[in-house]
Amino acid sequence: MEEQKTHYELTLKGKIILVSAALLLIIIIIYLIVPKGKDIESISLDIVDKNQGSIIYDPVNGNKVRLEIAKKIQLSTTIYPENHKKQEIEYIVEDENIAYINSKNMLVGKKAGNTRVYARVKDDKNIKSNYIDVEIIY
């Protein structure tokens, strides 16, 4: 007895479904690989005081943030445009002998003196925030 082989062929509808599924898979893969959002254009650095909320620092008026040695104050950034790519922001203290940034992005006074703090995009050192002048006092 001769064995009979079954032969299947896709109908037009089946071919359309198969091609559509393949295209959908390609679109999903591209969506997952391509970075989302726009490049960061600017960063605004602020001080957050739990008693006063966010304090917008204004270097034009000569305001200086005063902080006692060993005291902490929270730093915050606003990034523009709002639909930016997710990029890591780092905080920079010009004189780390006077103050430093801890692991919770808080500015900590180390010794009496003056320094400046700003934020920047970690991978693009050209995009910096405004600066904040800080005076560490006893």
Give residue-wise pLDDT tens across range 27-84.
Answer: 998 888 876 778 888 888 888 776 655 555 565 555 678 889 999 988 988 888 888 8
Higher pLDDT pick, 17 / 125:
17
Q: Where are the beta strands (DSSP E) in the chain?
A: 42-49, 53-55, 65-68, 72-80, 89-93, 99-101, 106-109, 113-121, 124-128, 132-137
**Against a cut of 0.75, is the pTM above it?**
no
Give residue-wise pLDDT tens across range 83-115.
Answer: 888 888 899 999 999 999 999 999 999 999 999
Beta-bridge partner residues of 100? 108
Distance separating alpha carbons of residues 108 and 47, to the nearest angstrom:
12
Give residue-wise pLDDT tens across range 111-136.
Answer: 999 999 998 888 777 777 888 888 89
Listed by start position, the domains of the chain span: 42-137
- Domain 42-137, classified CATH 1.10.486.10, yes or no: no
The half-sphere exposure of 76 on its side-chain side, counting CA atoms within 13 A, is: 13
CB atoms within 10 A of CB 80: 12
